[in-house]
Amino acid sequence: MADINIKINGIPVTVPKGTTVLEAAHMAGVDIPTFCYMKEINEIGACRICMAEINEGRGPRLVASCVYPLAFDGTEIMTNSPKVMDSRRKTLELILSTHEKKCLSCVRSGNCELQTLCNEMGIEHEEVYEGEKHVYEIDNSAVHMYRDNNKCILCRRCVAVCSKWQGIGVIGANERGFKTNIGSAFEMGLGETSCVSCGQCIAVCPVGALSEKDFTNEVFNAIADSSKHVIVQTAPAVRAALGEEFGYPIGTNVEGKMVAALRRLGFDDVFDTDWGADLTIMEEATEFVDRFKNGGKLPMMTSCSPGWVKYCEHYFPDLLDNLSSCKSPHQMVGAMAKTYYAEKIGKKPEDIIVVSVMPCTAKKYESQRDDENAAGVPDVDYVLTTRELARMIRRAGLKFTALPDEDFDNPLGLSSGAGDIFGATGGVMEAALRTAYCWLTGKNDEVVEFTQVRGTDGIKRATIDINGTEIKVAVASGLANARELLKKVQSGEEKLDFIEIMGCPGGCVNGGGQPQQPASVRNFEDLRELRAKALYDEDANKQLRLSHLNTDIQKLYEEYLHRPGGHKSHKTLHTSYVKRSVN
């Protein structure tokens, strides 16, 4: 497409014809605020915060910069003219006229896109436009989150990601005009719908209308209870994102400081969910090799992502037999903490509290599922998101950036590089293939990187040749992509042996519990790629890169589980699924 020359706030810039005003401004180093806009997901030009003054030779006028395409050479654009600033101020004041302004107690205070823009524009809290206000009951029906429509600004980002990214669409705009509100069909509570608890709606909400249910107080109380032995574990994706909460660049691996912070918060043991990822590979690779060799149900599908598992139960119940029966890594760590490790330290399972720090809100739901209680008590007692951990660190007064780097505790802390990459889409598949390759070829310590399944594409396919045997695999992230792939599997169009599915686009690094980035960052930076790079770099720098060579995992089988896929392993590390209705 031909280039055109334009000026933005007097700055000359050359852009391809058809570029939007918003994109052109970004190229010129100018930030235009947005609320509703999400690139390729919610390009609706509805909130009118992004208005810019444009002159294409016919006189100046206001346009919505996020959707207005540039077509003419010599176009002049102003993003900070008096007319633009007056429009933006009035729009903000109208939004505030129906917004619950309890900023001091809001979970998003200090990280709220509305609050930030109001501060930048010098907007006071006094009412400029007085009139009728709606009062909504908070929806607490879901296990993992709540909705407070008193704070909603009707940007519809949540609706867009639920429908387009995830292909679920359990929320939308109800009523019309001034009565418009975001909710579920027939005013059902979110917990009554077939929501899969992925939390992607929370991740994109610009204000405090949506948030995870916070268990930080319960965890602080557990730590203070001297009768309890409190264990914490952290997922691989957490170390790749936690630093964002404390000013580090996106994709900084803060594993060492994270471990130090957890120890100073008072946890008795700080374990690594990556150890559980290695254990998952032992069980899952065993399961796949057995199915592949002995005519089992194929394609086998991974079961690490609880949002995906719940999606399968609701929307593809006829494929439940294809799911691996393995628990997810953090549930395996919880199960081992309350059985194997409990015996080692002489504690009763009921006296051990396991806290999982996850990038995922669906893990909150997963920890309460049936058949996740190997010791007769829940494998995991509390699930915290990356954001909740950051709140605990701040509340405890820890200076995160000044903490030393420390290592995880053992014996549930040693992990391989294969365990590290679980947090990125394709990582579970690659980790499993590395071990399956070694077992099928007899080359027990050869590290083969399966780069074909890496990257942030929604669906990736590869044919893996192992000793002349072809294994057809596919990887999908984001549930709309999963639906597309699984429909082809059902129709027979896709013939596959092994499928990895992650509920969130890009995998756990982009989970619903990760740090929230504003639209100004999210629309122009690939959070998935930057965070995933931290995990692949960690894998590349490790000497131990194969799950089955983890000596602590080997010791676990020698002392307790006996063999992968055996009776005791199935009793402790595997789970079951149920068919669910669609609401």
Read off the CATH number of the domain in which 493 is found: 3.40.50.1780
CA dist 69 to 46, 64, 66, 172, 430, Å? 16, 10, 9, 28, 41
Q: Supply the pLDDT for residue 368.
A: 96
CATH of the domain at 129: 3.30.70.20
| Structural domain for 358, as ranges | 216-573
Q: What is the mean pLDDT of the chain?
A: 96
Task: Give the full edge-to-edge strand order of the sheet including 51-55.
Answer: 11-16, 3-8, 76-78, 51-55, 61-64
Q: What is the mean pLDDT of residues 458-464?
A: 96
Q: What is the pLDDT of residues 527-538, one digit of tens each?
A: 999 999 999 999
Share of the chain above pLDDT 70, in %: 99
Count CA atoms within 13 Å of residue 335 on its CB side: 27
Q: How confident is the model at residue 131 (pLDDT cuts 50, 70, 90)?
A: confident
Tell me: do 451 and 508 sit in the same domain. Answer: yes
Residue 126: band (very low, low, confident or very high) from pLDDT cuts 50, 70, 90: low
Strand (E) or helix (H) holding 202: helix 200-204
| Residue after which a domain boundary falls, among 94, 126, 152 | 94
Cis geometry, peptide bond prior to residue 299 (ω within 30 degrees of 0): yes
Instruction: Count the domains in the chain.
Output: 3
Q: Average pLDDT of 173-177?
A: 94
Q: For residue range 251-283, list pLDDT tens digits in order.
A: 999 999 999 999 999 999 999 999 999 999 999
pLDDT for position 125: 67
Give the closest residue to 539 by CA, choosing from 336, 136, 236. Answer: 236
Determine the Cα–Cα distance for residues 529 and 23; give it in Å rounded to an integer.
20
Q: Which of 237, 164, 171 is nearest to 506 (CA)?
A: 237
Closest among 398, 415, 406, 142 to 274, alpha carbons compared: 415
Q: Are residues 12 and 145 in the same domain?
A: no
194 CB-side CA count, 13 A? 20
Q: How many CA atoms lie within 13 A of 296 on its CB side?
A: 19
Q: Are residues 311 and 231 in the same domain?
A: yes
Two tokens, residue 495:
């013939």
pLDDT, position 468: 86
Q: Is residue 578 part of a domain?
A: no
Residue 186 and residue 234 in one domain: no
